[in-house]
Amino acid sequence: MARDPNPNFMAGVPELMVLRLLQDREMYGYEIVEAIKTETAEVISFGEGVVYPLLHHLEEEGALTSRRKLVGGRSRVYYTLTAKGARRYGQLAQTWTSLAEAIHSALKGARHAPEL
Amino acid sequence: MARDPNPNFMAGVPELMVLRLLQDREMYGYEIVEAIKTETAEVISFGEGVVYPLLHHLEEEGALTSRRKLVGGRSRVYYTLTAKGARRYGQLAQTWTSLAEAIHSALKGARHAPEL
DNA sequence: GTATTATACCTTGAACCTCGAGGTGTGAAA
DNA sequence: TTTCACACCTCGAGGTTCAAGGTATAATAC
C-alpha cells in the first residue's frame, strides 16, 4: 500500500550483476551480496533473499557450477561461471546496454528538461 | 514455464516513458503505445495491456487527469500531466539515471570485456 | 455490399521478480 | 557469555509485465 520510495528498475539486474562478478573469479554467495554493494558504492544493493535463490536458479540452468569449500572452519559454496553462463552474460549485457541507450535518449529528447 | 528469451530490465520503465511523453503534450492511450515504439525505434514496446492499466493507476494517484474527446467520430481519452505527475517524473528520471550509471560502470569494470 | 484492417478502448490470468522477515549455525571478539 | 559478523537458506506478500481476448467504429479493399 505504501508508495514505494524507490521504484523498480531492478528487474533482471541481479542476474546481470552476479554473472558479471563471476566472470572475473569464483565467488560465494555472501561475498557476492557484499561485492555488489561495494562495487556500486551502495547505489545498488540486493538482499540475500534475492541472491541465493538466483544462484540456485542459475545453477539449475547450467550457467553456474558450485563446489563446497571449508575456509577457517566455515562452509562456503563457491560458484563458477560455465561457458553457457558466459554466453548468457554477453547477451544480457548487450540487451541491457541497448535498452539503457534507448531510454536515455528518450529522456534527453524531452522538450522540458526534467528538474527535481 | 518457457525460459523467457529476452529478460526483464523493464520494471518501472513504462511509467517513466508515459510520464516523459505527457510532459510534452496531452496524449491518448493508443497514441502513447505507438509513440513509445516510434521514439525508441522499436527497441522498446509496451502492449496496451501495460499502458491502459498504468494510465488508470496514475490517474488514481493524481499524477494525471483525463478528459474524453470526440475526434472524427472516434472517442479518445486524453491524459494530461499534473504538477504531482511532473514531480514524480523528475524523481523517476533521476533515480533511473543514477541506477543506469552505476550498472554501466559496473559492467565496464569487468576484467574481461563482454563479447557476444 | 462485405470483409478486412486500423483505430481506440478495456480486462483478466499467468508468470515472474524483488523485497523483507525469519530461521539455523559457527567463530571471533567483547 | 553475550553479541556480532559470517554464511547458508526459505517463505509469503506485493508489485509488474505480458499475451490473449473482448467490444466497437471508421476507412479501405475486394
Residues in CB range of B64: below 8 A, 6 or more apart: B22, B55, B58, B79, B80, B81, B82, B85
Range 27-86 of A in CB contact (< 8 A) with B: 39-41, 43-44, 61
> What pLDDT digit, counting tens, does each position of B36-56 carry?
999 888 899 999 999 999 999
Amino acid A58: pLDDT = 97
Amino acid A72: pLDDT = 85
Amino acid B96: pLDDT = 92
**B99: part of which helix (H) or strand (E)?**
helix B83-108
- Cα–Cα dist B116/B110, whole Å: 15
- Low-confidence residues in chain A, pLDDT < 70: 1-7, 10, 110-116
pLDDT band of residue B86 (cuts 50, 70, 90) is very high
Amino acid A53: pLDDT = 97
- Verify whether the Cβ–Cβ distance B11 to A11 is below 8 Å: yes
- Verify whether the Cβ–Cβ distance A91 to B20 is below 8 Å: no
- By C1' distance from the Cα of A16, the closest nucleotide is C17
**Cα B55 off chain centre by:** 10
**Cα B33 off chain centre by:** 9
- Verify whether the Cβ–Cβ distance B44 to A102 is below 8 Å: yes
Q: Which residue has the cell 563458477?
A: A80
C-alpha cell at B69: 474527446
Amino acid B111: pLDDT = 63
Amino acid B112: pLDDT = 59
Nucleic strand D near CB of residue A30 (< 7 Å): yes
- Verify whether the Cβ–Cβ distance B90 to A114 is below 8 Å: yes
- Cα–Cα dist B86/B63, whole Å: 7
Phi, psi of B68 (to 5 degrees): -85, 140
Cβ of A111 under 8 Å from any chain B Cβ?
A: yes
Is the distance from CB of A17 to CB of A3 less than 8 angstroms?
Answer: no
- By C1' distance from the Cα of A31, the closest nucleotide is D7
Amino acid A114: pLDDT = 55
Amino acid B110: pLDDT = 67
Nearest-Cα distance to chain B for A58, in Å, is 12
Amino acid B80: pLDDT = 97
Question: What is the DSSP annotation of A60-88?
Answer: HHTSEEEEEEEETTEEEEEEEE-HHHHHH
> What pLDDT digit, counting tens, does each position of B58-83 carry?
999 999 999 999 988 889 999 999 99
Looking at B2-74, list the stretches that DSSP marks H as alpha helix, in order from N- to C-terminal side.
Answer: 13-24, 29-39, 48-61
